[in-house]
Chain A
């Protein structure tokens, strides 16, 4: 997972890319694999929600997201995802 978080005038802009094949039911069937994709992405600062997305098989492979929230530089953003099979990944990034 790659995260860039930048603060300007009290607004934090985050660009993140997650590594995941996002196999939809259609593609999985063709490849003879089981469908699996990220179903929930959450972003937190100091344990408080700053981003919350429930997602489907129709996000692109290695999903890229951009979002904004009110916040300041110096704090730490924690971004996590969970997929259909229950795998999770979490990463922290300092807001610059």
Chain B
């Protein structure tokens, strides 16, 4: 009886642990809890924090130029609301980083089968820095980046 109970429990646990893998949608706050706390360096032109975060999210920081169209303002008068858009023909995963806030990672998108990666968001930038988008396309990583000058910081509230 004891043994049967034990086996039953084992099967139940296996079914539960398989469930999140089959679902495409991923909450990266749970999947990769540590990547969100990777710090930027004090100098916003030092992208080593961003590169470290890219490696943590994609498993590599070897990227190529091209494929991504990135749109962000040259000068943001209000760092609390900075519009950022990117578009590509296709991608499986896209992530957005910046070098101006305390931590480097802003967001990660898993692109569903029917998804068209032509996305926009509005982000906060504490000071002048660089916005970086990395996309995974057919197993290769592509990168685009743009410097944004911030005249009023966005994290002061």
A binds B: yes
A contacts, CB < 8 Å to B: 11, 22, 24-27, 30-31, 39-40, 42, 48-61, 63-71, 82, 84
In chain B, residues 80-114, which have Cβ atoms closer than 8 Å to a Cβ of chain A?
Answer: 80-82, 85, 98, 101-103, 105-114
Least CB distance from B116 to A in Å reads 4
Q: Is A40 in contact with B85, judged by CB distance below 8 angstroms?
A: no
What are 15 A-B pairs with beta-carbon distances under 8 A? Answer: A27-B155, A39-B29, A40-B28, A49-B115, A54-B29, A56-B106, A58-B101, A58-B125, A59-B123, A60-B124, A61-B81, A63-B122, A68-B119, A71-B114, A84-B29
Q: Is B81 in contact with A42, judged by CB distance below 8 angstroms?
A: no
CB contacts (< 8 Å) of B26 on chain A: these are 52, 54
Q: Is B124 in contact with A54, judged by CB distance below 8 angstroms?
A: no
CB contacts (< 8 Å) of B124 on chain A: these are 22, 24, 57-60
Is B25 interfacial (CB-CB < 8 Å)? yes
Q: How far is the CA of A65 from the CA of B109 in the complex (A)?
A: 12
B contacts, CB < 8 Å to A: 24-29, 31, 36, 80-82, 85, 98, 101-103, 105-116, 118-126, 154-157
Partner of A11, one of B109, B116, B121: B116
Q: How far is the CA of A69 from the CA of B111 in the complex (A)?
A: 9
Q: Is A67 in contact with B81, judged by CB distance below 8 angstroms?
A: no
Q: Is A54 in contact with B123, judged by CB distance below 8 angstroms?
A: no
Partner of A69, one of B102, B110, B112, B120: B112
Q: How far is the CA of A42 from the CA of B121 in the complex (A)?
A: 14
Least CB distance from B84 to A in Å reads 10
Least CB distance from A29 to B in Å reads 9
Q: Is B25 in contact with A42, judged by CB distance below 8 angstroms?
A: yes
Partner of B114, one of A22, A30, A40, A70: A70
CB contacts (< 8 Å) of B80 on chain A: these are 60-61
CB contacts (< 8 Å) of B103 on chain A: these are 56-58
CB contacts (< 8 Å) of B29 on chain A: these are 39-40, 54, 84
Partner of A53, one of B36, B107, B113: B107
Given contacts A27-B156, A54-B26, 13 further A-B contacts (CB under 8 A): A11-B116, A26-B155, A39-B29, A40-B28, A54-B109, A56-B103, A56-B106, A58-B125, A61-B80, A64-B121, A67-B120, A68-B118, A69-B116
